[in-house]
Structure 1
Amino acid sequence: MLLCRCDPGWFGDQCQYAQEPSMTCSCAPSSICIRSFPSSICVCPLGRIGPRCYINFDPCQGSGPCLNGGRCIPNDERKHSSFAAKCLCPKDFWGEYCQYPLTKLIIYFHKQQSC
């Protein structure tokens, strides 16, 4: 689906309709308003959700889903994804939430003493 961003005063799939002075867009100021009939469609920026983009959304708020010092990176919630965020794990952990410690194998060699 191709969406055009129209100049002020125009709307439609290809910006072919002139806006009536009485037509207003009720989308949040930071969103993109696509005028259509019977109502407008709002395309929300990252960090906003809802039909008019007025709801703040931060999956990384607070400690987020990441464990063991993992860094939370929000996904674009407009994409189909099972998780609202990804975790970048520190070098000693792995997993979707950095919940698993990396396995380490430590080998020591002892020098034998000769008589």
Structure 2
Amino acid sequence: MSDPSFLDVRVLALWRDDRTECPLTLDLRIDAESRRVISHWETFGACDLMGDKCRPFVLRRDGALDFGAVAAEAWRTDVRNVVIKVGERFTVHWNERDSGLYEIVKVASLGVKT
């Protein structure tokens, strides 16, 4: 039996500057009422950097996107601080000086076909 107080969801977010480049997918646990991320543990995601190069990552508790030992990137995001719903926006910092605004375009319950 599932707990109605939270939802496990897959989020698809697109970069506002170019919706065809570098989409992000995240698996998150959110509060069913507030729609905010409630899981404090690390979670998984992926980005499609060049349209044919899917790169998995771990979303760390501090907002870091960890691409693994071979990646030099130090991406960060504030997605844990926003309401998880279509139309909501969050920032991804690709490095110290460059960032992009992402918009959530889909939120789907994990394990449910629609």
TM-score in terms of structure 2 length: 0.25
Larger Rg: 1
Higher relative contact order (Cα pairs below 8 Å, separated by 6+ residues):
2
| Higher share in strand | 2
